[in-house]
Structure 1
Amino acid sequence: MPEAVVAAARHLLRSFAKPCRILAAVSGGSDSKGLLLALHSAIGNRDREGFSLAACTIDHALRPESAGEAAAVAAFCAERGIPHLVRRWEGDKPRTGIQAAARQKRYELLADAAAALGADCVATGHTRDDQRETIAMRGARGEGEGPGGAGMASTMFYGHRVWVLRPFLGLSRADIRAFLSARGVEWFDDPSNANPLFERVRVRSELKASEEAPVAPWSAAQRAASSARAAALIETHVRVHETLVAEVAAAQAGNTSDADWRRALLSVAAVLGGRNHLPGHATIERISGFLQTGAPGRMTAGGVVYDRRPNGLYLYREARGLSALVVDPGETSVWDGRFNVTNGGQHPVAVTASQKDNQWDQRLIDSGLPPGVAKRAVRAAPHIAPAQADVVGSIRAKVECRIALYDTFLPGFDRTMADALALLFGRERYPAPPVHDVFDRNGEGLGGLPWQGDARTLC
C-alpha cells in the first residue's frame, strides 16, 4: 500500500499541537528514506503554515562505506532543498554491546542535530517489522513487566532533550519499499542487518521462519492505563525521605498480586537503585514472595534493600558497589546512576558514599524514619568534597535525583508514571510531547496517531 505511506505522514502532521520543524533521521535505508520523502510530500507547500523539514544522517563510522553513504544522503536532500547535517560517531568503539552503544550514540547525535537545526522533534522510520522484532526480543529477555511490555511507543522522550516520533509503526517495510520503487528511488542495505552475530538479526530470521507474530502483553492504550493507575498508587502509598528512602505502609507493601502496584513499587526501587530497567521475572517473583509473607526482615535485589518492619516497608540503596566520581568545574556527571551532580565551582569535586554522615543521618531521622533505617540508608548517601586536598573554601555543587528508568528513554505511554516518580523525588514533570497521542488517567486516547492493525502488537 504505497499510498498508506504518505497518509501516515499526513496524519502525523494533523497530530501536532502546533506547526513545527521536524528533523527526519535518515540513514539511506528504505525505511528512513521513505520517511523523508513521505514527510517532504506531506508538508509540500505547507511551509507557510509553519511546518518545515530538516534531515540528519548519523555516520557510525563502523564500515568504510558509511561516509560515502552519508554523503549520498546529503546530496539526495540537497536536490530537494531539505537542510541536512551529517553527524559522525568519533572515537573508539566498544568491543561488546556495539548495537546498544550505537543506538545510544545515535540518539545523542540526533538530539545535537535537532538543536543545531532548530528542530522541535525527531522522526524515525521504525516500522511494524521493527516492532515485531522488538516485542520478540524483549519477551525473550523477560522484560514484560517493564518498559518493553507494549513494544516501542509511537513517541519517546530522549535524554530530557527532544521528543522522538515514530509515525510508521503501523506500516510494513514492504509498504515503504513499494512506495520508493513507485517513485524510482533506491536505498542502501546495511550489511550489518544480515549479520547473525546481532540479536535483532537472529530474531528477524526466526520471525520469518515462523507463521505466528509475537504478541505484546499490552496495547499502547492498556499500557497507558496501567501507567496512570501505577502513578495514582505511587502518589497515594509511597513517601520518599530526602531522595534516599522510600516508605510504604505495611498494609500496602505485600499487595504484589496487583500488577500495577507491583510495577509501581519496582519502579520506585529502580530509581533508588539507579537502574534503568526493572528486574527480570525471577527476581520479581523473589521480591513478591518476600513481601507477601508480611514477616519482618530484609532482602536485597537490584542494589536495593527491602527492609520490612512491623510499621511498614522501607526501600534504600544497598551500601555496596558505590564508586567514587570526580566532577570537573562546569561539568555535570552521574553518580551511582542515582544523582546528577553539577559542579558550579572553580575546582574539581569528588563524590563518594558518605558511609557515616551525621548531617544526613539527622535529616533522615527528623523526616520521621526509624533510626535503624536512617543509619543504614545514610551509608549510600552522596558526600561531596574537594577532589584536591589543598583546596579550601566553599563547594558549589548541585545534586539532583536522577530517574534512571526514564531520563534517557521515556516511552510516551509511560509519561504519567514518569511524572509521578519525578514529583516523588523532588523533580519537575517531564515536558509534554508535541503531538496529541498522550493518554489520560483512564487510558483513553486524546487523539493523535492511528493504531493500525492488531492493537496487541502495535504501540
Structure 2
Amino acid sequence: MPALDVDFRSALRRTRRLLDDAGASLLNRRVLALCSGGVDSVVLVDLLARLPRGAAPKSIRVLCLDHGVRAGVEAELAAARAVAAAHDFDITVERGALDTSTHGTQAAARTWRYATAARVAAVHGCDVVVTGHTASDQLEGALLGLVAVTGSGAPAAMPVARELAPGVQLVRPLLALDRSTILELAAAAGRSWAEDPSNADADAYLRNGVRHRVVPALLDLAPGAGPALARAAQRASTQQLALDSLAAALLDSWGARTAPQRLDVRLAAPLATPARHALLASWLRGAGLGRAVDARAIRAVDELVMRSGDARIDLAGHACVRRDGYDVTLCSTADTGAPRP
C-alpha cells in the first residue's frame, strides 16, 4: 500500500465513514473504478489504492471511457493510464458511438457509460462500480433539483450506493469530499490529470452554469451553504430510498408488478401523498417506462387514482394508464377502448 500522508489519512477516514454509514464497504470486493482522467476520478483511484487492510478491496480494475463525441481525448486517456500504472492496476478502455436520436448528448452519454460499466464489470467478475462524484457534484445536483421544471422542489441527491445491474452495485466513495479537497489530494500525490474542455464552458450545459456562476456566488454570500445543501440533499435521498423500498415491498405483496400491471386504487389511495407518489413511480418504472416517469407523470397518475370515474391518461413513449372502476392498468396508446379525461 502506498505511504499515507496527513491529507490522505483524513480523506480516507471520511470516505470510510461515508461508506460504512451507507452499508457500502468495499472490503474484499472486486472493484471497477471509472476514471475519465480528470482530477476527481484520478484521486478516486489514488484513494482506493490507499485503503487500509481492513477496508481494502480484493481487486481493483480501472475503466476509462471515450464516449466518441469529441476529438482530443488522448490526454485524458493518458492520465487514466498513468494513475492505473502507478498502482499496478489493470485498465480497460472502451470507445463508444452515442445514439442521441431520442435524448440529448449528456443523457445519452450517461446511459452508455453506466451500461458499459455494468457490462465490463460482468466480464471481469466485478461486483461494484465506483465513480468519482464529489460533494461539489452533490451540491450542484441539489441546486439543479431545486429549479428543475418537472422536479419536486426538494433538493435532489445522488445516493452513496445503489444497484447498477443484478449483482453489481454502484458506489460513490468521494461524496464526503469537496472539489477543493480533491485538488489538495491530487497535489499531495503529485498527480497530473486532464479535464474535458467542455466542463470549463459555463454556457455549454445548465450544470456548467450552476458550477461556474451560481455556486461561487452562493458560497461567497453564505460560505456554509454548500455543506448544508449537500447534507439536506443526502437526507432527502435517504428518505426517498426508504420510501422506494417500502413501495417495492407493497407492490410485491399486492402482486401489482406482474402482468397486466394492475393496481387496486383501494390499496393505494389511503397512503400519504409522498408514499403514494413513491409507490406509483416504482410501479411505472417497474413496467419499463424509465425516463417517462417524471414528477408531472406521477402527479397525473395520482390524480387518476384519487378521483372517481373511469378515464385514461397518455404518457410519453406510447404508454398510457387507464382506470376502470377500482383498477388502474398500464396500457398502450393504441388501445382506444377506454374513456379519456
Contact 2:134 2:179 in 1 (8 A): yes
- The secondary structure found in structure 2 opposite 1:94 is coil
Give CA-to-partner distance per residue, 1:75-116, whole Å, 9 cap, x none.
332233111121112x36637611111112122222233234
2:170 to 164, 175, 178: 164
Structure 1 partner of 2:236: 219
Which TM-score applies when normalising by structure 1? 0.59
Structure 2 partner of 1:362: none
Please tell me whether residue 300 in structure 1 is matched to residue 316 in structure 2. Answer: no
Please tell me whether residue 94 in structure 1 is matched to residue 94 in structure 2. Answer: no
| Cα distance in structure 1, aligned partners of 2:25 and 2:327 | 44
Structure 1 partner of 2:3: none
Give the residue type in structure 2 aligned to 1:40.
A
Gaps of 5+ in 1: 321-354, 356-374, 378-459
Structure 1 partner of 2:33: 24
Give the residue type in structure 2 aligned to 1:102.
A
Deviation at 1:18, TM superposition (A): 5.6
Please tell me whether residue 267 in structure 1 is matched to residue 282 in structure 2. Answer: yes
Deviation at 1:5, TM superposition (A): 2.2
Give the residue type in structure 2 aligned to 1:28.
G
Considering Cα pairs closer than 8 Å and 6+ residues apart, tell me whether 1 or 2 has the greater RCO: 1
Structure 2 partner of 1:369: none
Which TM-score applies when normalising by structure 2? 0.78
| Cα distance in structure 2, aligned partners of 1:226 and 1:275 | 18
Deviation at 1:8, TM superposition (A): 4.1
Contact 1:2 1:175 in 2 (8 A): no
| Cα distance in structure 1, aligned partners of 2:257 and 2:337 | 13
Q: What RMSD in Å do the two structures reach over aligned CA positions?
A: 3.4
- Sort the Cα spacing of 1:143 and 1:201 in 2 relative to 1 into closer, same or farther, 3 A: same
Number of residue-to-residue matches in the alignment: 314
Deviation at 1:7, TM superposition (A): 2.5
Structure 2 partner of 1:342: none
Give CA-to-partner distance per residue, 1:60-84, whole Å, 9 cap, x none.
2333321343134213322331111
Q: Which of structures 1 and 2 has the bigger CA Rg?
A: 1
- Sort the Cα spacing of 1:64 and 1:273 in 2 relative to 1 into closer, same or farther, 3 A: closer
- Sort the Cα spacing of 1:275 and 1:193 in 2 relative to 1 into closer, same or farther, 3 A: same
Same amino acid, percent of matched pairs: 26
Contact 1:24 1:54 in 2 (8 A): yes
- The secondary structure found in structure 2 opposite 1:216 is helix
Give the residue type in structure 1 aligned to 2:306.
Q
Deviation at 1:272, TM superposition (A): 4.1
Q: Which residues of 2 match residues 259-408 of structure 1 at below 5 A?
A: 259-272=274-287, 274-276=289-291, 278-281=293-296, 283-293=297-307, 295-302=308-315, 303-309=319-325, 312-320=326-334, 376=337
Deviation at 1:306, TM superposition (A): 3.2
| Cα distance in structure 2, aligned partners of 1:298 and 1:51 | 55
- The secondary structure found in structure 2 opposite 1:24 is strand
- Sort the Cα spacing of 1:269 and 1:78 in 2 relative to 1 into closer, same or farther, 3 A: closer
| Cα distance in structure 1, aligned partners of 2:15 and 2:235 | 25
Name whichever of 252-261 and 115-124 sits farther off.
252-261
- The secondary structure found in structure 1 opposite 2:262 is strand
- Sort the Cα spacing of 1:286 and 1:274 in 2 relative to 1 into closer, same or farther, 3 A: closer
Contact 2:322 2:328 in 1 (8 A): yes
Deviation at 1:36, TM superposition (A): 0.5
Please tell me whether residue 38 in structure 1 is matched to residue 47 in structure 2. Answer: yes
- The secondary structure found in structure 1 opposite 2:233 is coil
Structure 2 partner of 1:5: 11
1:188 to 176, 194, 202: 194
Contact 1:25 1:32 in 2 (8 A): yes
